[in-house]
Structure 1
Amino acid sequence: MSEVQTNVSGESPGTPENTKSPAGDRGEARGSGKRSGSSKIRSSTSRGSNSRGSNSRGSNSRGSNKGVITGVVSAVVILAAGGAAVTATAMVPEPSGGTTTDIREADVPAGRSLGVCPEPARLVSGTVVGTDADFSPVSTTAASALNAVVLSNPAGTVPGSNVTSLAGEAVAEIAKAPATTPTPTVGPPVLAAGVATISPVTSPTVVGAEALGNEQASLAANLSYSATDGDLRGLASTQCQSPGNDAWLLGANTAVGRTAVLNVSNASETPATVNLELYGYEGQIQAPGARGLLVAPGTTRSVNLAGLAPGESQLAVHVRSTGGPVASTIQQSVLRGIAPGGVEYLSPGAGPSNLQVMSGVDIQDPGAIKALAGKSGFADAVPALQIAVPGSTDAVVQVRLYGVNGERKIPNGGVVTVKGGTVATLNLDGVPAGSYTLSASSDVSFLASARITRGAKAEEATDFAWSPSSARLGSQHLVALPREGQRSLSFGVPDGRGTVTYAPVTADGKVGKAVDVDMSGGTTSVIGLSDKSGGSVVVGYVVSASGDPVFGALVFGRQGRTDVSVVAIQDAAAGLEKVPVSVGY
């Protein structure tokens, strides 16, 4: 049974305890050279006994038909009466013009905020379990944890919030719904937070929070996975994402020894029909099994992308849904022969644009990277920028790299031409070791994501991560952190000058003192994060930025290991929204 810890400001949290997660599903034959041409699809659900939408369909259907018939009869009577009315009103002068009231703005009711979290990394079904325990594909050290944080309003009131299964079954309560919503007083905000930790995690979950004062609640949740043995050895982390109907994921690889599993979760009460658009090195890939995928409410549908696009070393996936909104991630893993090469969650980044910016791009010693890349099976063990152009027009992309001490020249010039409808990769080998922010621009809309690698010896463990492009930082972004390991914030300012403010959120529900960092344009700042603040474990941060555009990401690692994972900072919660409304006749 999973251990659940929750705490709201003022309560004393329990001590987190790491528990090994159960062994995953079995996956493909290790190092297999060929893959089945058919799509391998797995559908899972955690629905309870109470089915959604259980109203009687028969009676509703009859009532609906009766209403249609009555409406037709009424329409005939109205038309008959209207014919006589025309004669009577024809002699009355018409008004000179219509009357229209002033345009006003109406409040849009704020809805429930959601963050959908995938299940921990698992082997795909069909993995052959060998007799050599030293090379067993199943991990005995796999551990997973979900950390959720919900921020209060400026008056310190934490909204009602909880963690549930995809089907809506209760997992943990973060904060009870307040009886009243106090109005914020004049002066600086008094922030607090609700916090929950679940370990181990065994299935997809949903973190939800109700609106307060007709404003969206601010929430963040982080799912982390780590293992020191098995085929899925390494570190993987992702922020739980808000559902949507359109998302792009870059960095997938279905070449020999690489496994990419797309997981699509539907946390709504409406069925979702999902269509996948796949782009590779030679152009768009037409896969018959990529369209019309039904994802029932409260379920996750998993698709092994090798069944749709086998042998693709650089694959971009466009996920579109109709009906219910969905959340999508790709579980990407590498196996070089019998040696594990890392695992990561690929999360959606910013949509097609003329400018894409990625933070947290950590590069190792270029000499060691070059030597490693020259060995068989390690061509993708180098830092790189992947670019996808969804349109038909070729894109000439200018790439710039900003380090702690300013801009760094890219050895190959930093200009790459990508054909329309294809995916290309620009290797960053030869760049001096350091932490960078990467900016790419073009006159044609494109997408981008940056690959980060750790480990420089073929005989030792290696790992990788992908930093998706992110949006410009604004005010009050909430980020959640794993409770263990090395953690840092990476910020970049491509041009101008910007100021970043960050404040810790601790396990006892308190928001600590904010720290300001002034940054000049063309630089990157990396801030190592403390494990504790005020004697309590740090579980998240509230991040804001002002001035010229600032971009940010979280970088995770493990002391003495090559583990790495990068998570882009998500958009902040939406405030009160309004729409123009005009009334007239």
Structure 2
Amino acid sequence: MSLLAGIAVLAALTGVAALRPADDVQITTLELSSPRPVERSALTCPRPTASEGATTWYTAFTPPPLSPGFEQDETGSAALLPAPEHSAGSVVDDDSDEEPPAESDPVVPLEEAGAPVTVTVTDSDAPALTGTAEAGLAPGWTVQQTTRVETGNGRGLLGTACQTPDTEFWFAGASTAESRGDYVHITNPDAAATVVDIELFGPEGRIETDTAEGFTVPGGTTVPVRVSTLTDEAVGDLAVHVTARTGRIGAQIEAVDAQRGADWLTPSTAAAGGPVVLPGIPAAATGVRLVAFAPGDDDITLEVGLAGPGGTITPAGFETVALRSGELTALDLGNLTQGEASSVVLTPAGGSGSGRVVAALQVVGGEEDAAEMAFIPATSAVEERATVSGNTTSGTTLALTAPGDAAEVSVTISAGTEGGEPVTETYTVDGATTLTVTPELPDGTGGSYAITVQPGGGGPLFAARTLTMGDEDARVFTVQTLPDDQSAVEVPDARQDLSVLLD
């Protein structure tokens, strides 16, 4: 036994020696990584409003490469396909044999980066959409969905960027009040069915319901769920949590108000622990309402700041907002901006919790019968690049917010769908301010165009776009935030390195 053990030890040592590189060979272990463009992107677009007389514009765009040295394929494909509507239900059917959707013609297909494409749809039964972009058209692929409704409860301008699928979404600002008719639109981009749960939270905490769990969403379909069917309570302000048990989904809320029209409420995406930024309150806003929720275990106290063109102030009477864990808080901030485009910045107070905050602003424009609402959710900073498409030659305003240190940023106006050349301008956003930019289009730019924002150094940068249509007597508007487009991923540099076998 001793002899055998000795032989085994000797063999092990010999093996290690054989693997050990020679003394004159330098071993380099690479820990750095380099960014590479994503090779495939997926998007889902909710079903447009079913109102008669509505017009919807889809504008697709992929920006050029991040930088001249950024290797990106010159070819690729990008298109969306209809996602048929599936009736909402709470029965889980794992053995569903439902037929897959029939093949359809693609919507807003792209042919090249840097060239936006727009399609106009007037059908009241226009479907939801889902699709992918491949190769050179995948990095930064964005599709804007803008709908104008002339009359009825859903009147106004509804705007949203089509959404990257995920497993969960948080919203603040939904409602089951008598005047509201909100729908959660859930779209499944994958072939396999998934099951989705919806949780509601109000000022008293979680709202118990037996009908909000187990919605089956077959592959390639969309399911609209009216929020008021999930509870008998009429709650003026709600936080909504949507989760997929398997796979991934898109989820957005169509908020419809009898007095203030309609718009899309998109998910809150602020990072935990840092400032919560809600950028781009239009200068013409006549009312602002903050809805906030702390889904974690800790209570959180937030200091309220209003970042305008001249700096950040503390609104009188709204110095702080206290969030109790699991309970929603809403504040009517009134005519907060006093005619200046601004952003709300919520900063965790010293000594309070620092968990995740779900927040959104309901912004009202106009007066009385002409009042209309839009939503600004808390958003993440632009790290490398962000793009918003569907801009018009008049009625487009870009808001850039630097809640901390000053930030340098380049703003690129793309060619239009009807011609033109791209142009880039550089701006400095002073610290603790919001800078408003009205794009100056070069001669020859026609149709709709895209705006691409790239930080050039300094502090964190947040951005939003306001789109306005109509004449002065009947102006309608919508606001979209610009989160980072996640067009590049860090890929570790790898090579053979036998030193990892050594202790």
- The bucket for the TM-score relative to the shorter chain is 0.7 to 0.9
Equivalent pair of 1:151/1:158 in contact (CA under 8 Å): no
Map of 2:376 onto structure 1: 467
Select 2:479's aligned residue among 563, 566, 569. Answer: 566
2:279: which partner in 1? 359
The answer to whether 1:409 aligns with 2:306 is no
* Contact residue 59 and residue 116 of structure 2 kept, 8 A: no
| In structure 2, distance between residues paired with 1:420 and 1:542 | 37
What's the counterpart of residue 149 of structure 1?
Answer: 61
Q: Distance in 1 between matches of 2:151 and 2:108?
A: 33
State the Cα distance separating 1:285 from its structure 2 match: 1.5
Write the distance in 1 (CA, Å) between the matches of 2:152 and 2:428: 44
Measure the CA separation in 1 of the matches of 2:300 and 2:389: 36
**2:388 paired residue number:** 479
Structure 2: gaps of 5 or more residues? 21-26, 84-100
Corresponding residue to 1:159 among 72, 76, 83: 76
Out of 291, 310, 328, the position equivalent to 2:213 is 291
Q: CA deviation at 1:485?
A: 6.0
Separation in 2, partners of 1:299, 1:88:
69
Q: Contact 2:78/2:138 (CA < 8 Å) preserved in 1?
A: no
Instruction: State the partner residue of 2:92.
Output: none
Which SS does the other structure have where 2:334 is aligned?
coil
Tell me how far apart the structure 2 counterparts of residues 484 and 473 of structure 1 sit (CA, whole Å): 24
Residues of 2 paired with 1:402 and 1:408: CA distance?
7
Quote how far apart the aligned CAs of 1:486 are.
1.5
Q: Determine whether 1:577 maps to 2:474.
A: no
Q: Deviations over 1:267-322 (max 9, x none)?
A: 11222221222211111122222222221110111111111133111111111113
Matches of 2:435 and 2:377, distance apart in 1: 18
- Alignment of structure 1 residues 276-355 onto 2, 5 Å: 276-309=198-231, 310-335=233-258, 340-351=259-270, 353-354=272-273, 355=275
Whole-angstrom CA distance in 2 between matches of 1:320 and 1:421? 17
Which residue of structure 1 aligns with residue 86 of structure 2? none
1:504 aligned to 413, 424, 433, which one?
413
Instruction: Report the CA distance shift for 1:363/1:218 in structure 2 as closer, same or farther (over 3 A).
Output: closer
CA distance in 2: counterparts of 1:113 and 1:89, whole angstroms: 58
Aligned equivalents of 2:37, 2:394: Cα separation in 1? 40
Q: Which residue does the alignment assign to 2:97? A: none
1:379 maps to which residue? none
Distance 2:58 2:108 in 1: 13
In structure 1, the residue matched to 2:360 is 449
Shift of 1:484: 7.2
Displacement of 1:165 after TM fit?
Answer: 2.2
| Structure of greater Rg | 1
Q: In 2, distance between residues paired with 1:160 and 1:508?
A: 21
The sequence identity of aligned pairs, in percent, is 21
C-alpha displacement at 1:579, in angstroms?
A: 4.7
Map 1:35-434 → 2, pairs under 5 A: 92-94=7-9, 95-96=12-13, 110-122=38-50, 139=52, 141-153=53-65, 154=68, 157-166=74-83, 169-172=104-107, 174-176=109-111, 192-200=114-122, 202-212=126-136, 216-309=138-231, 310-335=233-258, 340-351=259-270, 353-354=272-273, 355-362=275-282, 364=284, 382-429=287-334, 431=336, 432-434=338-340
Contact 1:363 1:383 (8 Å CA) reproduced: no
SS of the aligned residue for 1:290 comes to coil
CA contact (8 A) 1:158 1:192 kept: no
Q: Do 2:384 and 2:454's aligned partners in 1 also have CA atoms closer than 8 Å?
A: yes
Give the distance between the partners of 1:343 and 1:472, measured in 2 at CA.
Answer: 27
Answer yes or no: is the 8 Å Cα contact 1:148–1:207 preserved in 2.
no
Distance 1:144 1:532, change over 3 A: farther
What value does the CA root-mean-square deviation take over the aligned residues? 3.0
The more displaced of 159-168 and 442-451 is 159-168
Q: CA deviation at 1:261?
A: 0.4
- Alpha-carbon spacing, 1:102–1:535, altered in 2? closer, same or farther (3 Å): closer
Q: Deviations over 1:58-104 (max 9, x none)?
A: xxxxxxxxxxxxxxxxxxxxxxxxxxxx9997673231486699766
CA shift, 1:538, in A, is: 3.8
**Cα distance, 1:225 vs structure 2:** 1.0
Does the CA contact (< 8 Å) of 2:76 and 2:135 recur in 1? yes
Counterpart in 1 of 2:345?
Answer: 439
The Cα shift of 1:440 comes to 0.4
Report how many aligned residue pairs link the two structures: 448
Counterpart AA for 1:537: G
The offset of 1:483, in angstroms, is 4.2
Q: 1:257 to 1:526 in 2, by over 3 A?
A: same
Partners of 1:433 and 1:555 in 2: how far apart? 15
d(CA) in 1 for partners of 2:145, 2:79: 16
3-state secondary structure, aligned to 1:353: coil
SS at match of 1:514: strand
SS of the residue aligned with 2:282? strand
Question: Which whole-Å deviations, capped at 9, do the CAs of 1:445-503 have from their partners, x for residues lacking one?
Answer: 2121112101223xx22110111111111333221125476211111111221122111
